[in-house]
Structure 1
């Protein structure tokens, strides 16, 4: 039901009523409001389709979709953020799973940029705008990024090791020979993690078909829909003991694995320091199980 089990749906209804003060009426309950909203974002359904499914007027469908969209975007403040803002610990599910437990949640969202904007431009805007509250890791922890992003001390480092071919697809490594040398071991471990990250985006897009096509909505509403879809994804991940979409994720075609954009990196002290960091991490992985 709406890509979530019954218990999660009921819990979400209760949270909407008790925390976010959504009200039902004699004509429509909170569950029906939520149902219409989820049906719209899950199926990418138009107004007329929702009218026929729920037997309400077009004006009613449009009004309650807008109401629920604003409420779920408000939920995003709670559900799209790191559970451990200081990054002090590693979740036991990740520590205990050789595949990094691919039930990841989104911790930051910045929607509304034009499609032609370069990754680096968006990233730089996010980390330098204090109002966005980008979750920066503590000293000694980093974000894993591809070559489309700059190397920044204490924030991120690239997935590939300079001078060594990047293994873009986990399957090539899994079915072929075991990696040899510290650079190949490094690339194997981190290409596996990148595959999990890409799969999370694949699951997110599969769950909410509205993300594939929403030309009838205003730009501002489209931005809100992206944020709401991420908030709902995280809500399901937090409270669902079993997620059918993730269970099927092994069969998803993952786009973008192995894509290396032109890096916009500076050279000098920071680049040398980050390269040394990569080499240290790669060396430490030599004795770890693959």
Structure 2
């Protein structure tokens, strides 16, 4: 019943009717399971200690050795909450697993502000990458030894390079194009997450703490599915968000379209 609620965003009254139990019974057991899975989430949402750079399948001319020590990407996504909307900042490995989730910020919060809070207090358990390794971040994040941002005031998003007359023409543009292409794993992963758990698109009217728990639990289940069912239909569907149409040099081809290759 718990999985049915978060996987279909079905209201408890409907679930109570479906399974012929009192709504109070459904609610009570939902809370019990939510707390239990949330307490276990730290074992599913974590940085792989054996990874200190690009995974083997990404060690191609387009990214290697330019992003040799990249262990993941950082970005924020909005989750509909009542009230207010939450910003969830997520840190992703290129296995499309989430390695850290920092939930609970209002939708107007700046990404760099959320990151600063996450790394400034040890109680948040920020997963620092191994020495010499780093996360990819956009130009809105601070520069640091553990964060590699894109160049400011230069074309960045892969979509901006799609036509044949808009290919990268400078070193900065080429760097930004490849940086953007590699970071798209996190956009793909947010799509997978919200497709699996539509409760994140329209959160029920829970207490604020319970909403945060639901968010973290959805990330944990996402990782569990990635580890145990990589052939999942939704994973295959959302693999199409990767950018294809690039040559072996990493430059966009003349007919670049939305991709169908996977980030894993």
What range is the shorter-chain TM-score in? Answer: 0.7 to 0.9
Q: Higher relative contact order at CA 8 Å, sep ≥6: structure 1 or structure 2? A: 1
Length-normalised TM-score, structure 1: 0.67
Instruction: Tell me whether 1:104 sits opposite 2:75 in the alignment.
Output: no
Q: Is the 8 A contact 2:55 2:94 kept in 1?
A: no
Larger fraction in helix: 1
Instruction: Tell me whether 1:138 sits opposite 2:130 in the alignment.
Output: yes
CA distance in 2, matches of 1:90, 1:251: 21
Q: Is the 8 A contact 1:47 1:62 kept in 2?
A: yes
Name stretches of at least 5 consecutive residues in structure 2 with no aligned partner: 64-71, 73-92, 243-247, 251-264
> Which residue of the partner structure matches residue 12 of structure 1?
none
CA distance in 1, matches of 2:21, 2:163: 54
CA distance in 1, matches of 2:184, 2:130: 24
> Which residue of the partner structure matches residue 164 of structure 2?
176
> Which residue of the partner structure matches residue 249 of structure 1?
238
Of 120, 133, 144, 1:128 maps to 120
Could you tell which deviates more after superposition, 100-109 or 219-228? Answer: 100-109
> Which residue of the partner structure matches residue 73 of structure 1?
38
Check 1:249–1:229 CA distance in 2 against 1; reply closer, same or farther (3 A cut).
same
Of 56, 61, 64, 2:26 maps to 61
Deviations 1:12-70 (A, max 9, x none): xxxxxxxxxxxxxxxxxxxxxxxx11110111111111112222221221111111111
> Which residue of the partner structure matches residue 17 of structure 2?
52
CA distance in 2, matches of 1:200, 1:105: 8
Report the CA distance between 1:117 and its aligned residue: 2.3
Name stretches of at least 5 consecutive residues in structure 1 with no aligned partner: 1-35, 255-287
Larger Rg: 1
Check 1:157–1:127 CA distance in 2 against 1; reply closer, same or farther (3 A cut).
same
Instruction: Tell me whether 1:289 sits opposite 2:249 in the alignment.
Output: yes
Partner SS for 1:76: helix
Check 1:196–1:227 CA distance in 2 against 1; reply closer, same or farther (3 A cut).
same
Partner SS for 2:96: coil
**Number of matched residues?**
216
Check 1:96–1:189 CA distance in 2 against 1; reply closer, same or farther (3 A cut).
closer
Aligned CA RMSD, in angstroms, stands at 2.7
Q: Is the 8 A contact 1:106 1:230 kept in 2?
A: yes
> Which residue of the partner structure matches residue 158 of structure 1?
149
Report the CA distance between 1:92 and its aligned residue: 2.9
Partner SS for 2:102: coil
Length-normalised TM-score, structure 2: 0.73
